[in-house]
Amino acid sequence: MYVVTLLSAPGARSLQPALPEALRNAWGGGDVLWLAPDEAAEFALSHVPDNRWDVWEDLQKQEVDMVVQPTEGRRKKMLLADMDSTMIQQECIDELADEAGIGDQVKEITARAMNGEMDFEEALRARVGLLKGLPVTTIAKVLSERITLMPGGQVLLATMKAQGAHAALVSGGFTDFTSAVAEKLGFDENRANTLLNDDATLTGEVGMPILGQQAKVDALHDITRRLGIGEADVIAVGDGANDLGMLGRAGTGVALHAKPAVAAQCDVRINHGDLTALLFLQGYAVSDFVTG
């Protein structure tokens, strides 16, 4: 059995009641269950429709996301999340670069890397090299003044952890940022790269080994093995090319507001909903959300 989940952005009221009813009638699905009024609904289906992606494209024009996935095992025991442009709304290295006055130069490299047009390690070295001489105090300044959480992240973490799930933050970014974001959101652990400094300024170098796409796959393998669960028990979320490995291996790999080249390689794409979409995909209703 499969389940079709329809989602829109919170507050957008894009998901009109007639839409899921019409779709389940066309596909011969079960009764529509509303997970959140005007925002999220689902219905059961015995097979994956042949016109799935044609319908998906039509719904995108209506600002509605649609995911078709197996019903069995969709409630996950672990969250594995990227940080930049996923759990937070920014790319940390781009924000540091703005403070250094070289924002456009660094953002161009970041965009190429996230689209898969440039090797991640090469791109990271190039960007960090441009930050040489930046005062270490800039990191705290960026954290306090420029970094904002992605909507829905706190509810996602609180709800999954209340059900006993483990949460890991894995990033091609930097530990100075992942440690702060992980603590704020309630992640159980975090992994990232290390910006080297001489106590006063950044040296323009990154600690070895560099954590890229393979490191995220390794984190998925290592953490699930340690917890005694399978990779199928994981929901992973990311937006860039270096996330594709873990998104492909996890039981549910979510491309969240991802670059087009990345989204094209993922079956689960969220372009309009926020991070609470990951809860709806697991069958949580808004009444199940932990908000405190």
Which residues are designated catalytic?
82, 84
**Residue that has been written with the tokens 């094209």 in this structure:** 264
- Count Cβ atoms below 10 Å from residue 60 Cβ, excluding itself: 14
**Residue that has been written with the tokens 């490191």 in this structure:** 215
Q: 193 burial class (0-12, 13-18, 19+ CB within 10 angstroms)? A: buried
Q: Are strands 40-45 and 33-36 parallel, antiparallel or unpaired?
A: antiparallel
List Cα–Cα distances, 138 to 4, 44, 123, 215, in angstroms.
Answer: 46, 51, 21, 27
Q: Would you state the torsion angle of the CA atoms of residues 112, 117, 120, 121, taken in this order, to the nearest 10 degrees?
A: -100
- Count Cβ atoms below 10 Å from residue 107 Cβ, excluding itself: 17
SS3 per-residue string spanning 169-187: EEEEEEHHHHHHHHHHHCC
Q: How far apart are CA 35 and CA 283, in angstroms?
A: 8
**Residue that has been written with the tokens 């672990």 in this structure:** 78
Dihedral sign for Cα atoms in the order 150, 154, 157, 163? negative
Q: How far apart are CA 191 and CA 187, in angstroms?
A: 11
